[in-house]
């Protein structure tokens, strides 16, 4: 594979490296397929490469060969100190230090992990979220997401029970509650929600409702039906992916000192 020269939009398909961080999950094939469907719907020629650092020791992409590196979701608490999690932290530090003009995207666990590595704080959410939910934008978010500016919000699939309580320094809040963050360098974008997750994939995790909320289809039919409604609601995942893929070609904001903000935890 030839590698990517930064600076201008190339006349070739996008190359995206995706870190699937779920540990020994039977759902990994479905998660991978969801990325392929949702990105393929807006960029059919994009070339995706998948990596599993939680399951395959030391498996990380060469950032020079990609336009975007995605830190995806996981089934493990990002505050843990498992060796593979520390390896992901180390890879992120190398990435931002040695490839400062490489775009980085964080989704759910990736959003939380990037926040932690840059000095933010992750806590247990007061109430877990599952299904499509409204993400309310800040003024900076309205400028970044012009398609959503009139409504002042967008809708995404959610599936999390932890959240970023304190955003890291040198990051701008694009959405209220630290639901979406952008580095001042314009090189790192993170979402608590899941632009890559469609209903077909989201429904596979509905069983978490028993652990998270105390009900399932047998215990509470009405609550289960409501959860199904949330899972299958329309959302703005395709529009968010279009914005992400446009953002890849936006230039960095130099002189922000973003590398100096990386935590050594």
* pLDDT at residue 1 tops 50: no
* pLDDT at residue 148 tops 70: yes
* pLDDT at residue 256 tops 90: no
* pLDDT at residue 187 tops 70: yes
pTM of this structure: 0.92
Answer with the residue of higher pLDDT: 2 or 165. Answer: 165
Q: H or E segment at 200?
A: helix 199-202
pLDDT of 259? 53
Burial 229-247, CB ≥16 within 10 A → b, else e: ebbeeebbbebbbbbbbeb
Q: How far apart are CA 95 and CA 100, in angstroms?
A: 7
Mean pLDDT, the chain, rounded, equals 92
Q: How far apart are CA 31 and CA 219, in angstroms?
A: 28
Residue 194 token pair: 């899941």
Give percent of the chain above pLDDT 70: 92
pLDDT of 96? 96
What is the pLDDT averaged over residues 132-158? 96
* pLDDT at residue 167 tops 50: yes
* pLDDT at residue 164 tops 60: yes
142 pLDDT band, cuts 50/70/90, is: very high
> Which residues neighbour 62 within 8 Å (Cβ) at sequence distance 6 or greater?
3
* pLDDT at residue 43 tops 80: yes
Q: Which long-range contacts (CB under 8 A, 24 or more apart) does 36-45 make?
A: 37/198, 37/200, 38/195, 38/196, 38/197, 38/198, 38/237, 38/238, 38/241, 39/196, 39/241, 41/238, 41/241, 42/238, 42/241, 42/242, 42/245, 43/13, 43/14, 43/241, 43/245, 45/13, 45/14
> Which residues neighbour 184 within 8 Å (Cβ) at sequence distance 6 or greater?
170, 171, 172, 253, 256, 258
Q: How far is CA 126 from the centre of its chain?
A: 21
Q: How far apart are CA 232 and CA 202, in angstroms?
A: 9
What is the pLDDT averaged over residues 80-103? 97
Catalytic residues: 108, 194, 196
CB 17 within 8 A of CB 69: yes
């Amino acid at each position: 594979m030839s590698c990517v020269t930064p600076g201008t939009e190339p006349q070739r398909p996008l190359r995206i490296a995706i870190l699937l961080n779920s540990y020994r999950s039977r759902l990994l094939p479905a998660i991978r397929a969801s990325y392929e469907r949702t990105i393929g719907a807006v960029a059919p020629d994009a070339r995706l490469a998948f990596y599993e650092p939680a399951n395959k020791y030391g498996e990380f992409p060469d950032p020079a060969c990609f336009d975007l590196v995605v830190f995806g979701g996981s089934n493990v608490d990002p505050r843990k100190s498992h060796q593979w999690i520390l390896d992901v932290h180390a890879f992120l530090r190398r990435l931002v230090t040695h490839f400062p003009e490489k775009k980085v995207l964080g989704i759910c666990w990736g959003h939380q992990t990037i926040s932690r590595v840059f000095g933010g704080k992750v806590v247990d959410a007061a109430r877990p979220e599952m299904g499509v939910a409204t993400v309310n934008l800040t003024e900076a978010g309205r400028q970044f997401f012009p398609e959503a500016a009139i409504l002042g919000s967008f809708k995404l699939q959610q599936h999390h029970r932890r959240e970023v309580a304190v955003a890291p320094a040198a990051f701008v809040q694009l959405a209220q509650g630290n639901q979406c963050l952008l580095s001042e360098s314009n090189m790192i974008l993170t979402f608590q929600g899941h632009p890559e997750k469609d209903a077909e994939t989201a429904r596979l995790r509905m069983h978490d409702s028993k652990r998270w909320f105390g009900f399932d289809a047998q215990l509470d039919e009405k609550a289960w039906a409501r959860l199904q409604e949330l899972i299958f609601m329309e959302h703005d995942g395709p529009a968010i992916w279009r914005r992400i893929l446009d953002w890849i070609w936006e230039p960095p904001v130099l002189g922000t000192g973003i590398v100096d903000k990386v935590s050594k935890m």
